[in-house]
Amino acid sequence: MNKKTAWERMLLVREKDRPTIRDYIPLVFDEFWEMHGDRLYGDDGAILGGVATLEGRPVTVIAQVKGRTLEENKKSNFAMPHPEGYRKALRLMKQAEKFHRPVVCFIDTPGAFCGVEAEERGQGEAIARNLFEMMELRTPVLSIVLGEGGSGGALALGVADRVAMLENALYSVISPRGFASILWKDASREEEAANIMRITAEDLIGFGVAEDMIPEPQGGAHRDPESMAATLREYLKNTIFKFTELPIEKLLESRYDRFRKIGEFTASQPD
C-alpha cells in the first residue's frame, strides 16, 4: 500500500466518524471523573479534563473535544478553546502536580478560538501561561495528538516529556489553508500546502518535535475504534509510568532540553 500524503491524512482526520476523546475515555481508562471550570471565569466545553485510572493508578486527563454532531460541536466549539479552557487545563495540571500523578494531554484542535471575547479574556496570555507553567510542572506530562494539532492552540497542551502522534495525525504551525492564503495569497492551494509543510507523524519525529507514532487500524482509527483504543491503552501503560520513576529534577531538565534543541540555524563569525 502506498504511503498516504499529508493531505490524504488531513481528509482522514476530518472524517466525521473519526473517534474523539469521548469515545476513547471509557475504552482506554478504567474510571473517569470529569472536572469542570477554571475557577476564574467559566467552564469551556472545548476542553475536557478530569481524573482517570489506568491499571488502578490515577492520571490526570486533559483533552480537546471534537464533536461528531452539530449539537456536540456547538457545545465544544469545534474543539477551539477559549482562554478559560486553557486556564481550566492549567488548573487541572496544578492539581495533578499537587497529588503527584502524571498528566496525559490529548491534542485534537484546529486551533485556539479567534474571537472578540477570546481576545478580551487574553487568549495570548492564557496560551503563554500554559507554556511557561508546563515547562516547570513537577509531574510527568505526556501529549498525544489524536487528529489535528493546530498551532499555538495545540502547543498549549503540548509542552510534554514525550509527544506521540496517531499514525494519521497532523501537527502544524498554521492550517494548510491559512499557510496557502498567507504565503501564496491563495487559499485554494491548501492541498499543495499540506504536502510541503511537513506535518505528518514521520516529519515531526524527524524534527524531534514528537517521539512516537501510534499505529492506527487499517484504513484509519474510525474503521475500528475499539482496537485503536486498545492500542492507545497499551501505549499509555507502557509509557506514562516510566516517567514517574525518574527524579523530578532530571525530568524537568530533559523536558527543557527537549524543546531547547529545536531550531535550525547557522552561526557565522560576526563581521
Contacts with other proteins, residue ranges (CB under 8 A): 112, 114-116, 118-125, 127-129, 131-133, 135-136, 151-152, 155-156, 158-159, 171-174, 179, 182-183, 196-199, 203-204, 207, 209, 256, 259-260, 262-271
CB of 53 to other proteins, least distance (A): 29
Q: With left for phi above 0 and alpha for psi between -120 and 50, is residue 112 left, alpha or beta? A: beta
Nearer to other proteins, 28 or 112 (CB): 112
Nearer to other proteins, 48 or 165 (CB): 165
CB of 80 to other proteins, least distance (A): 10
C-alpha 134/C-alpha 160 separation (Å) is 7
Nearer to other proteins, 43 or 192 (CB): 192
Nearer to other proteins, 155 or 228 (CB): 155
Contact by Cβ (8 Å): 104, 240: yes
Q: At residue 75, what are phi and psi to the nearest 5 degrees?
A: -65, -40
CB of 169 to other proteins, least distance (A): 13
C-alpha 226/C-alpha 228 separation (Å) is 5
CB of 247 to other proteins, least distance (A): 17
Nearer to other proteins, 5 or 26 (CB): 5
C-alpha 11/C-alpha 151 separation (Å) is 18
CA contacts within 13 A on the Cβ side of 138: 7
